[in-house]
Amino acid sequence: MDPTLLLSLYRKLAPLPGGKRLFSRLVGRAAPYTGTLPFVVEELDAGKAQVKLFDRKIARNHLKSLHAIALMNLGEVSTGLAMYSTLPRGARGIITDLGMTYLKKARGPITATCVVDPPKGSGRQDMVVESVLRNADGIEVARARAVWRIDLP
């Protein structure tokens, strides 16, 4: 997929009624595992993504909190959207490392926010990207750290 289409599509759909949910469903179709989770892309701009995961039974663990891997997936999708929103036409990216620090039990809606600087130059490079996950009270519950291998034209 051409990464420049991602931001363009979001900007077209987001202002429409239900547009953010439709965009989120399209993201879920492009990444089918991610699409199994109840999330919505709330904000997407060049180098910034904000994604909300809703607290639903499908995303919970046996402790009645959001599952660690659901939070990991939220962190991964937010880093990916932020990173891809900075890439030029013809660029590619793949995650090569993903880690998570869990700070508190996550309950209720959790919002992941990721801000990245655009890659510079051309060729292959690894970029470290972080996403902060906060609950509805603004308390940080987890932090994702991803390494994206970017191939720039």
- pLDDT bracket for residue 2 (50, 70, 90): confident
Supply the CATH number for residue 81's domain: 3.10.129.10
In this prediction, residues 6-33 reach a mean pLDDT of: 95
Report pTM: 0.94
Computed over every residue of the chain, the mean pLDDT equals 95
- The whole-number pLDDT of residue 99 equals 97
Range of the domain at 19: 3-152
pLDDT digit string, tens, across residues 56-69: 999 999 999 999 99
Q: Give CA–CA dist 143/134, Å, rounded.
A: 9
Give the per-residue pLDDT at 1.
Answer: 66
Q: Phi, psi at residue 114, to the nearest 5°? A: -135, 130
Mean pLDDT over residues 118-143, rounded?
A: 96
Q: Rounded to the nearest 5 degrees, what angle is found at the Cα of 121, between the Cα atoms of 116 and 124?
A: 85
pLDDT higher at 110 or 3: 110
Overall number of domains in the chain: 1
Query: In angstroms, rounded to a whole number, what is the distance separating the alpha carbons of residues 70 and 29?
Result: 17
